[in-house]
Amino acid sequence: MMRVLAVAFIACSLGACVFAQCRVPAYLQGGTLYDSKSEIITNISIDFQDFTPDRLACLASSLKERYRGRNSITVSIFSSYQAAMNSTGLLPPEPRKIDYEMFARLHAYYLYDAEKHDDYVVLMPDPMIGDPSAPTNTKIDLAESIIPACKLQVNNRCLLKLDHFRIDPGEKQPGTVTLTAEIGRSGSVSDVQVVDTDKNGSRAQQAFADFALQNLKSWRFESSQNTDDMRIVYTLDRVETPIEHGINVQFILPDRVNIQVGPMSMTR
């Protein structure tokens, strides 16, 4: 651990941390999948509160300095040391429950490819969505001097984690659910309550209300000296147009999440 911290400090001293007020997060080395003179694929873990864009940018700069000389660097960044030690950063073809549990703790990755001129780190609140250009993800390009704002935030607090949206189209009735909650100083969401739903009283509508409540409980924000109240509306609609994976989720924060379910699009 001391060696890791020393490396991080030296990297910043040499100018690897090019961003203002750069503080390299402490990290633990996890498993390494591949290591050669030209390429490294490895895992690390950091504290949950270090998954903000500015700290990830500083961490990525330090990792680039640590592996200077490699043409390709891939670092999966977990919120759990156990996951960093035991996960490959990918789900196996036939994942077990433990595989999902490990993978769910992957919330960022750093990618450097000299040939493709790639040099960026990606914050992923939902690890199941790894595309750096996805609306839920925040891509920080190290070639840029300005760190982008977190794409998903409430009251200027970055959303770092949420459960993946899984909805069986046949189970839940389209409708609207309004919830209130409190974001604590640590970033956890508590006191989640359903304050309004469509008044049809159906079992399917209640199922959607329960889903929304459990999903909001899974959200985790960056820490703050203050607590924040939030009021958010979940809507569920059915569409006839084919959708990738059969579901489309649109975050309109700070106060709305729109969910569409429909036929799954056919991919070649």
CATH number of the domain residue 207 falls in: 3.30.2420
Query: Residue 139: how many CA atoms within 13 Å on its side-chain side?
Result: 14
Residue 27 structural domain = 2-151
Q: What is the pLDDT of residues 185-232, one digit of tens each?
A: 999 999 999 998 765 556 667 888 899 999 999 999 999 999 999 999
Domain assignment present for residue 147? The answer is yes
Residue identified by tokens 């035991």 is 86
Domain assignment present for residue 200? The answer is yes
Domain assignment present for residue 70? The answer is yes
CA distance 176 to 11: 50
Domain assignment present for residue 266? The answer is no
Q: Are residues 176 and 139 in the same domain?
A: no
Q: Are residues 134 and 165 in the same domain?
A: no
Q: Are residues 88 and 176 in the same domain?
A: no
Residue identified by tokens 């020393």 is 6
Closest CA to 185 of 152, 214, 157: 157
- pTM to 2 decimal places: 0.86
Q: Are residues 177 and 74 in the same domain?
A: no
Query: Residue 152: how many CA atoms within 13 Å on its side-chain side?
Result: 23
Last residue of a domain, one of 132, 151, 170: 151
Q: Are residues 137 and 180 in the same domain?
A: no
Q: Give the three-class secondary structure for 227.
A: coil
Q: Is the pLDDT of residue 11 over 60?
A: no
CA distance 153 to 220: 10
Domain assignment present for residue 42? The answer is yes
Domain assignment present for residue 26? The answer is yes
The set of residues, in sequence order, having a beta carbon less than 8 Å from that of 35 and lying 6+ positions away, is 41, 42
Bridge partners of 175, per DSSP, are: 236
Domain assignment present for residue 223? The answer is yes
Q: What is the pLDDT of residues 234-262, one digit of tens each?
A: 999 988 888 888 889 999 999 999 999 98
Domain count, the chain: 2
Q: Lowest mean pLDDT of 73-77, 114-118, 193-197, 253-257, name the range.
A: 193-197
